[in-house]
Amino acid sequence: MQRVIWFDLGYTLVYWNREELYREHLQQLGIEKSIDELLLAYHLTDKHFMKHFPGLLGKDRSHWEEPYYRMINRCLQIDENTELLTSKQERKGRPEWRAFEAAHSTLAQLKKEGCQIGLISNWNLTAREVLENTGIMPYLDYVVISSEVDIEKPDERIFRHALELAGVQASQCLMVGDNYYDDIIGCRQVGMEGILINPYAKQGIEEINDVEVISTIHDLTALVVGGKT
For residue range 116-127, list pLDDT tens digits in order: 999 999 999 999
pLDDT tens readout for residues 135-160: 999 999 999 999 999 999 999 999 99
4-14+97-225: what CATH class? alpha beta
In this prediction, residue 81 carries a pLDDT of: 78
Calculated CA dihedral for residues 118, 123, 127, 130, nearest 10 degrees: -100
> What per-residue confidence (pLDDT) applies to 227?
67
Least confident of 94-98, 113-117, 162-166, 200-204: 94-98
Picking from 154, 189, 153, 183, the residue whose alpha carbon sits closest to that of residue 170 is 189
What pLDDT was estimated at residue 59? 83
Residue 60: what pLDDT? 82
pTM (two decimals): 0.92
